[in-house]
A = this chain, B = another copy of it.
Amino acid sequence: MERISVKKLLGTAPIHQEVEVNGWVKTFRSNRFIALNDGSTINNIQCVIDFEKFDEAIIKSISTGAAIKIKGNLVESQGRGQSVEIQVSEFQIHGTADADTYPIQPKKHSLEFLREKAHLRVRTNTFSAVMRLRSALSYAVHTYFQKNGFYYFHAPIITGSDAEGAGEMFRVTALDPKNPPLNENGDVNYKEDFFGKETNLTVSGQLEAEAYAMALGKVYTFGPTFRAENSNTSRHLAEFWMIEPEMAFHDLNDNMDLAEDFIKWVIKYILENCGDDLQFLEKRLLDEEKSKPQAERSELPLIEKLKFVADNNFKRVSYTEAIDILRNSKPNKKKKFEYIIEEWGADLQSEHERYLVEKHFKCPVILFDYPANIKAFYMRLNEDGKTVRAMDVLFPGIGEIVGGSQREERLEVLQQKMADLGIDEEELWWYLDLRKFGTAVHSGFGLGFERLVQFATGMGNIRDVIPFPRTPQNAAF
C-alpha cells in the first residue's frame, strides 16, 4: 500500500479503498474525530476512530501535535466541510506532544509569540500557508524567467567590493577576532585574511549580473543579500532574498514592461495554484483587521487585491509629473506630510509614494526619470543632463517593491560620474571593461522577494514571511 499525501487523498474518489497516511494531529474531538495534517495542504483529513477498539492509553496520547500513522478505508464523509474521511482500522503513534508543554495549541497565538518559536510556528495554519505560498512564488519566479529566455545566474555572496555604495555591510572574516594581524600602518592586515583582502556580504548582485547579461543576453539572480543597517521596522531584514534580472539591448521602457509583466505573471501563478492557502490568508486578514479602525483596513480583500494588480495596467508617471501632483496635493498644502515637497529634486519619502499609489492613482505606479543626484552612479544619464533612466515600482501597502534602471553604457560618462562621486576606478576595473568591449544599452531591476511575499500573503511584518528572520539583535536558530 502506497503512502499518500493528505492533499492527494482529499482529491481522491472514495471507493472504500485502504489507504495509509502519516501526519500530525491538528485536533482530536469526542475521542473520535482526528483532524490530520501532513503539511501538503492547509486542509486536514478527518480520521474517524472507534475508541472502543483501541487501548485507552493510546487514545490518550492522541493530542494536538502528535505524529501518527493511520491506516483505514477512504469513504465519503458524513460530516460537513470535507468530501472524504478515513475510517481508521490501524494506527500508530510516531511521537507524542505533551499538551502541557507543546507551545502550538489549537488556539490563537500572537505573531510575536510565534516569532520566538520560529522552529515550530510553521506548524500553524497561518505560517504553513505563508511558507507554501513563498515556495510557490519562488517557483513562479524561476518559471517566468526560464520560459522567457533568461538564464539563472548565481551572483557571489562574499564580495570584495560595495556594489552600490549602498549602506553598511557585514564583514566576512576568518582572522583572529581579538588579535587581528596589523600592517605597518597599524591597520588590520587583510592580506592575511582568508581571501587576502577585506571581504563583505553582498548587498546586490547587479554589477556581476551585468557582466553576465553582456554575454548571455538575459540573466536573473535570485539569492540572499544583506544590509547591516540598524533598522528595526516591519519592512527591513538584515538578510533577505532578492531577484535581479538584467538584460542586454533593453532600454528603460523595455525594463518597465518586463517588471510589470513579471509581477503580474507570478501573481496570476499563485492565484491559479494556491487557492486554498490564499482563501485561508484572506480570511485571516479580515479577522485581524476587524479590530482596526476602518481607515487602517485594506481596501480590498486579499484575493481581489491580487486580481486587481494582475488585471490592470500599472500607471507610469515621470518623477517630474509626480512632483507636480505632490506639490499640489492636499497633504502638502496643509503641511500634513512630514517632508513637505517644495521643489523639483526632492527625494521622495515613503509617505509621498503611498499618497501617489493609495490616494491619487489607486493602483500600482511606476515612477521614472529621477533626478540624477538622488540615484546611483551606474544609471543612464538622460539627454537633459539632469535626470537618469531610473524607475521604481510602487505598490499599495508595500511602497517600493522594485527599483531599476537603464545602465550607463558609455565609458566616458560612467568614468566622469565615478570621478565626481570619488569611486575608485581600480575597484571597478572589470565593470568598466564591460563598457570598453562590446558595450550596449542594457537594463535591469531588483525586487525584494520578501516584499512580494508580504503583498501576496497580506502579512504585515516582514519577519513573518521568511523562515528564520535576521534582524538587529536576532540570529536565533
- Contact between B440 and A95 (Cβ–Cβ < 8 Å)? yes
In the assembled complex, A372 has its CB within 8 A of some CB on chain B: no
Name the B residues within 8 Å of A168 (CB-CB).
174
Assuming the contacts A38-B217, A172-B172, asked whether A151 and B180 have C-beta atoms less than 8 A apart, the reply is no
* Residues of A11-68 contacting chain B, CB below 8 A: 22-25, 38-40, 65-67
B94 and A440 form a contact (CB under 8 A)? yes
Give a binary string over A209-226; 1 marks a CB under 8 Å from any B CB, 0 the rest: 001101111100001101
Residue A79 CB within 8 A of the other chain:
no
Quick one: CB contact mask for A137-150 with B, threshold 8 Å, 1 for yes? 01100110010010
Let me know if A122 and B466 touch, CB within 8 A.
no
From residue A136, how far is it (CB to closest CB) to chain B in Å? Answer: 8
**Chain B residues whose C-beta falls within 8 Å of the C-beta of A94 in the assembled complex:** 249, 409, 438-441
From A194-202, A256-264, A329-337, A341-349, give the one contacting chain B: A194-202
- CB-CB nearest in chain B for A159: B475
Cβ contact within 8 Å between B158 and A438? no
Q: Does A135 contact B (CB under 8 A)?
A: yes
Cβ of A123 under 8 Å from chain B: yes
A157 to B69, CA, bound (A): 34
Query: In the complex where A157-B224, A223-B223 touch, is A95 in contact with B438 (Cβ < 8 A)?
Result: yes
Determine the chain B residues whose CB is within 8 A of the CB of A155 once the complex forms. Answer: 467-468
A215→B39 contact, CB < 8 A: yes
Check if B182 sits within 8 Å of A180, measured CB to CB.
Answer: no
Q: Which residues of B contact A96 (CB under 8 A)?
A: 438
Nearest CB to that of A209 among chain B residues?
A: B467
Tell me the minimal C-beta distance from A60 to chain B in angstroms: 16
Interface: A318 (CB within 8 A): no
Q: Which residues of B contact A228 (CB under 8 A)?
A: 174, 194
* Residue of A102, A196, A211 most packed against chain B (CB within 10 A): A211
Contact of A7 with B149 at beta-carbon distance under 8 Å, contacts A212-B467, A438-B97 already known: yes
Complex Cα gap A156–B469 (Å): 8
Report whether B475 and A160 are in contact in the complex, using a CB–CB cutoff of 8 Å. yes
Tell me, yes or no, whether A177 is within 8 Å of chain B by CB.
Answer: yes
A238 to B218 CA separation, bound complex (whole angstroms): 27
Provide the residues of chain B in CB contact with A360, threshold 8 Å.
none
A164 within 8 A of B: no
Does A361 reach chain B (CB closer than 8 Å)?
Answer: no
Which residues of chain A from 225 to 281 have any CB-CB distance to chain B below 8 Å in the complex?
Answer: 226, 228, 230, 238-239, 241, 248-249
Taking A208-B477, A470-B195 as contacts, is the C-beta distance between A65 and B177 under 8 angstroms?
no
Could you say which residues of chain B place their CB within 8 Å of the CB of A138? 142, 152, 154
Q: Please measure, in the bound complex, the distance between the C-alpha atom of A248 and the C-alpha atom of B230, giving whole angstroms.
A: 38
Q: How far is the CA of A98 from the CA of B5 in the complex (A)?
A: 61
User: Considering only CB atoms, which chain B residue lies closest to A199 in the complex?
Assistant: B475
Please determine whether A215 and B470 come into contact, CB atoms closer than 8 angstroms: no
B170 near A39 (CB under 8 angstroms)? no
- Determine the distance from Cα of A157 to Cα of B218 in the docked complex, in whole angstroms: 27
A173:B177 contact, CB within 8 angstroms: yes
Asked if A413 is an interface residue, CB under 8 A from chain B, the answer is no
Please measure, in the bound complex, the distance between the C-alpha atom of A155 and the C-alpha atom of B123, giving whole angstroms: 17
B residues in contact with A3, CB < 8 Å: 249
Residues of B within 8 A of A170 (CB): 158, 172-174, 194
Other than A95-B439, A194-B238, give 11 A-B pairs with Cβ distance below 8 A.
A39-B216, A40-B218, A67-B440, A128-B215, A157-B226, A160-B476, A170-B172, A171-B173, A173-B173, A178-B182, A212-B467
27 CB < 8 A contacts A-B: A23-B217, A24-B438, A38-B248, A38-B249, A40-B218, A66-B438, A67-B438, A97-B437, A119-B208, A120-B437, A122-B212, A131-B212, A135-B152, A138-B152, A138-B154, A139-B146, A153-B467, A156-B470, A158-B239, A171-B174, A178-B188, A194-B228, A194-B238, A194-B473, A195-B474, A208-B467, A223-B224
